[in-house]
Structure 1
Amino acid sequence: MTVDIVIALIVLLFAAMIVAAIVRVIISRRRVRRFADLRAAGRYSEAAEVARSMISKLAFRDDFDWDDLQHEQFRASLFSWHLSLAYVLFEAGDYAESARHAAEAVDGRTRLLGALHPDTITARHFQTRVDSML
């Protein structure tokens, strides 16, 4: 009987973990949509706040183990949000802050994906564009 209870608790724990992961995905997708809608409407300061919020949630630590694949998705999302924030700050005319976030994206994507990955090259190209405005 005790073994059955332990097994039931383990199953419930895994079910709770799956539900929590699904909820995180749904919330994240809503924020992505909100960010895109605000940016498309030219409401750059509000879009920037959404991006900053996502960065603060994803950057729960700054000592990522770059060889640990468990955190790869979080790191990729973090650097995508840095680049998204850089875009809206650029559109709002805040070139210095945009350059800082573009540099974060380039550095992170270079370390995560490699210097020749298309996402890294895209970020580097944008960084060059921002730097030319400084």
Structure 2
Amino acid sequence: MRFDILSLFPEALEPYIRSSILKRAGDKGIFEWALHDIRKHAVDEYGHVDDTLYGGGTGMLMLAEPLYRSWQDAVAAGGERAKSRRRTIYLSPKGRTFTQDIAREYADCDQLILICGHYEGVDQRLIDEIVDEELSIGDYV
């Protein structure tokens, strides 16, 4: 199985993936992984990947364009082989809580693309277009 993780902070995730049980599993070829820096596809030279909420309110919303381009990179990296057994998951507190049963559901996938949310969330149009499911890692603040 291949995991592609889309994040604004891939450098924060890499040490975790390169250590402990995940490192051993990767070394044994049980899974492969890649981190994708969403900022690589920023909309301007200043690295903007966010904008104010439509209709006002506090916080920022992650723009669809940089995230979509990062997702396209992940899809390409997974190759044609993964096409029918690829799932895109948006990690969100609004999603259903991740459980062992859900892990079993996804165990037969060839590729999981995990979108790490940030700010107040991501543009809903992107969720509607590419996300197969929203999952929460549990109750947290």
| TM-score for both structures, normalised by structure 1 | 0.29
Judging by fraction of residues, say which structure has more helix.
1
Instruction: Give the number of the structure with larger relative contact order, counting CA–CA contacts within 8 Å between residues 6 or more apart.
Output: 2
| TM-score for both structures, normalised by structure 2 | 0.28
